[in-house]
Structure formats: C-alpha cells, structure tokens
Copies of this chain bind each other. A is one copy, B any other.
Amino acid sequence: MAKRKPKVMRPKALPPRGFRDYFGEDVLERAAMLDKITGVYHAYGFDPLETSAVETVEALGKFLPDVDRPNEGVFAWQDEDANWMALRYDLTAPLARVYAQFRNDLPTPYRRYAVGPVWRNEKAGPGRFRQFYQCDADTVGTPTVAADAEICMMLSDALEAAGIARKDYVVRVNNRKVLNGVMEVAGVLDMSDLSKFEAERGIVLRAIDKLDRLGADGVRALLGAGRKDESGDFTGGANLSDEQADVIMSFIDARRSSGGETCLRLRELVKGSDVGLDGVQELETIAELSEAGGYGSERLLIDPSVVRGLGYYTGPVYEAELTFDILDEKGRKRQFGSVAGGGRYDDLVKRFTGQAVPATGVSIGVDRLRAALAAKGKTASIAKGPVIITVMDRDRMADYQEMVAELRNAGVRAEVYLGNPKNFGNQLKYADARNAPVAVIEGGDEHANGVVQIKDLALGKALAANITTNEEWKAQPAQMEIGRSELVAEVRKMIARAT
C-alpha cells in the first residue's frame, strides 16, 4: 500500500460554549455607556476598585446569588500547590475579601464602584452566557439607611446618564424587615427561633419574586398547596392557611399612590412586629431623603412587591425596572423588566473577620441595559469608519503615507489601503465594508498635476440607489478633484457634510 499523509488534526476555531466575542462598535458603545455610569458613581464620591479575576475558592465561599440551584457554580481549578482557585462569579464577594483585607487602610464608610466581567459555570444556552459584565456600586461600613437612599438615587441618575429617559424606568424600593414583619404577623416567622418555618419563608420569598410571571393567582397557589404549571409540572407550596396567605397577599398589594401612603398601609400590616415597624421607618426615611434630593415617586417608588430572591439581604432591597414595552421573540408586547438590583447585606465580611460589617449596594446588568438602549434606538453610532487612502500606484506608498499622516495629525481617522491594490474595485468594497466616509484617490496623472480625487462614499451610496447607467454614475457629484494642498480641509468638509 502507498503511504498516506497522516490527517492533520486542526483545532476548532470556536470559543468554548457560552462564551462570545465583541467587535468594533459593540466594544465602543459599551465602554461609552459604562463611562457615563461610572461618571455618576464617581460624582457621588465612589472610588473605583479593580480586583483580580481569580480568587481562592475559600475566599469566594458559597454565596452564588440569584440562583436556587446549588449545583451551579464557579469555574475552579487547583494550582501547583494544590490550592483551589476560581474565577469570580460576581463583584460583591471580591469586595468582601478586599474590605476584610484592607479594612484598616480604607476610609469608613468605603464607597467603591467596580466594572468587569464575571464568570458562571452554568449551562450555556441562547442568550445565556458564562461570561458577562457587571457594574456595581457598594457602600461598606455604615448601617445608616441614608446609604441605601443614596444608592437608589445614584442608580436613577446612572440610568438617565446611560440614556434611559425619565418615566421609562422606575427604581422600586422595599425592605426585607417589612417582609419579615409581615411574616411574623402571618405566623411564619418566630423571632426567638429563626430556624422555624425557614423552608416556608423560602417558598414565600420565591413566590413573591415570581409575581410578574405568575400573577396574583399563581403566587396565591404557591403560598397554599402548590401550583401546577402549563406543562403539568407541580411546584410544592408553603401550605399556609388562607388567613396567613391573605396577610402575605395584602402585603404584595400594599402599594398606594405615594410613598407616604404606602408606608401608612404597611404600618397597618406589620402592627405588633418590631422588626416590621423598624423596616417601615427605614422606608419612610428613604422616601424623605430621596424627595429632598429631588427624586420623586415617578423615579423612586416604595413598592412592597419587590423582594429580590437572594437570601442574604437584610434590609432595604431595590430594583430598577424599565417600564416601556418591547416585543419578545414571538412578537408579543411585554415590559422590558429589571436591569439592576441590590440591597443591604450585613454578613458578607463577617465570614472573614467574625465581625458584622453593614453594607449596601447595587449591580447593573450591563448586557441587559445595552439591549434596552438598543431597543429604544439609543445606541447612536459612535464609531466612524476611517478615511481610506486608496493605492493607485504601489511604488508611491511613501506619498500615501504622507497624506495619511497629514490627516491623522489633523485629527481625522484615516488609513492607507493595505490589501492587494491590483483591483481598484476591491479597494472601494473594502472602504464600504469599513463604513468609510471618504476615499482619497491619487493616480500618476493626479500626482503630476498636484491634485487628488476625493470621493464622498456616503453620498455615493445614497445616489447609487437612484442611478441606473454607467454614464450617470460618472457624472454624479460625489467625487471631486481638489488641490493636493487642500486635502485636509476638503476631507474635513466632506465628512462634516456626511454627518
């Protein structure tokens, strides 16, 4: 048998499942959005912090938020000394580690913001990625509810800075203490033995969190015996009595037309519960401070239906919701929903130091907010294509180099065509693919006469739609001859005309 060449095994040119790449304008637009948001954070006195992407597994702990499934987790591995390390799954756990590590050097309170990717070892799927951006702000080291109010106002300002119009969003605020008060009144919380009814309270929390999706009847079913969904699957309920469920349902329904009235209603509902009354008092303070700051209830709303699924919140919780409609994948109208959330958590640092450190903070879902801005047509194209200096004569690259340097020194984004210059049509196709506003053409004749041709590609495109013959094409005014010394000035004019 004849020898065969062994088959070459080539690696697949794909990222791992659940990972993706961002190109060009996507990168620039996200960066511009984050600059605006962090600009607001900074104006509020928050300082940036960038922690390492990798933490020890013991420092991260088992605090994966927003998930009920314990088998979902982190990307972890052992280093050469057999120590486990992992990619951070959020920006809060690293903050807790940093605060514990540097608490003697950091100001009290410590206001910090952080932006960056986080990683989740979850099943990838359409729209579900295993690396995504978060943009957080937290205040560590103060128990005052003024810190929570500040975060809520800042969140409101950040959304507006990013391009969400007032009345297209609302920051909803609630308080876990009020919910605990209601639970106490309903008889599913015994402050002297917190382990009692713990499972029931978990079901109640998750049920309320699903109000948007299941409606009041669905929540009610989960408070009682349980609920069968459309597919026939059964979710067990909290088995509360009708009277108990009534108390919970009136809490969900306690929102009134103003923060003050809502708080009055809540006072009635938690009557007799110290923790509940304490929580209402905190909500009143938040309403008062935000009013004083100019954040009325059309921006910042006391809303008892907000619970935030995560177990670790201990006081105020808040959520930014976008209130405009979008069409879902089936063409049905629905509200865009939540783009940010957070609340007060007092135990994260305690894991390290043994001392409780009060903290409160918010996390913006960067990709969701970007999607919202895109849905509202608010991602104005930031990136402009470069001016393309075409290459008519391969031996005169030095001349083209001079031109491009002139343009760039004048602040014009520009490049010399560096593909194979033989086919001039390919150069114009390239300019088109780059979204170039202007092409510069200087052949031998032009060079001899001290002129160049400049071509308005944007105008050319518009005209092309209405031109049918080659003659017309040549006659169209999108191309003009100018003196070589006029290059910068004329290109600038042409770009200004195009925008």
A contact set with B: CB distance below 8 Å = 8, 10-17, 19-24, 27-28, 42-45, 47-56, 58-59, 61, 75-77, 79-80, 83, 85, 87, 94, 97-98, 100-101, 107-109, 111, 117, 119, 121, 130-131, 139, 141-142, 144, 146-147, 149-150, 153, 157, 285, 288-294, 351-354, 383, 386, 397-399, 401-402, 404-405, 408, 411-416, 418-420, 430, 433-434
Say yes or no: A45-B14 contact (C-beta < 8 A), given A142-B419, A405-B294.
no
List of B residues within 8 angstroms of A293 by Cβ: 401-402, 404-405
Name 9 A/B residue pairs within 8 A (Cβ), A-sorted. A10-B352, A23-B47, A28-B48, A44-B414, A47-B383, A52-B131, A75-B77, A146-B397, A150-B415
For A48, give the chain B residue with the smallest CB separation: B27
Copies in the complex: 2
List of B residues within 8 angstroms of A412 by Cβ: 43
Say yes or no: A54-B131 contact (C-beta < 8 A), given A59-B12, A146-B416.
yes
List of B residues within 8 angstroms of A58 by Cβ: 11-12
A175 to chain B, nearest CB (A): 17
Establish whether residues A430 and B107, one from each chain, have CB atoms under 8 Å apart when the complex forms.
yes
List of B residues within 8 angstroms of A288 by Cβ: 398
Question: A24 CA to B112 CA in the complex, in Å?
Answer: 8
- Beyond A11-B352, A23-B48, A42-B383: 20 further Cβ-contacts under 8 Å? A10-B352, A11-B59, A11-B97, A13-B352, A14-B59, A15-B52, A15-B56, A19-B55, A20-B52, A43-B408, A45-B434, A53-B119, A79-B121, A107-B430, A142-B419, A146-B418, A150-B415, A290-B401, A293-B404, A294-B405
Question: A386 CA to B52 CA in the complex, in Å?
Answer: 26
Establish whether residues A53 and B8, one from each chain, have CB atoms under 8 Å apart when the complex forms.
no
A75 to chain B, nearest CB (A): 6
List of B residues within 8 angstroms of A353 by Cβ: 10, 13
Establish whether residues A45 and B144, one from each chain, have CB atoms under 8 Å apart when the complex forms.
no
List of B residues within 8 angstroms of A404 by Cβ: 293
Q: Which of B13, B27, B54, B386 contacts A97 (CB 8 A)?
A: B13
List of B residues within 8 angstroms of A419 by Cβ: 108-109, 141-142
For A153, give the chain B residue with the smallest CB separation: B405
Establish whether residues A397 and B289, one from each chain, have CB atoms under 8 Å apart when the complex forms.
yes
Question: A56 CA to B369 CA in the complex, in Å?
Answer: 29
A327 to chain B, nearest CB (A): 27
Say yes or no: A52-B11 contact (C-beta < 8 A), given A398-B288, A401-B289.
no
List of B residues within 8 angstroms of A56 by Cβ: 11-12, 14-16
Q: Which of B139, B292, B351, B418 contacts A399 (CB 8 A)?
A: B292
A278 to chain B, nearest CB (A): 17
List of B residues within 8 angstroms of A45 by Cβ: 386, 413-415, 434
List of B residues within 8 angstroms of A399 by Cβ: 292
Question: A87 CA to B328 CA in the complex, in Å?
Answer: 35
For A8, give the chain B residue with the smallest CB separation: B354
For A142, give the chain B residue with the smallest CB separation: B418
Establish whether residues B16 and A54, one from each chain, have CB atoms under 8 Å apart when the complex forms.
yes
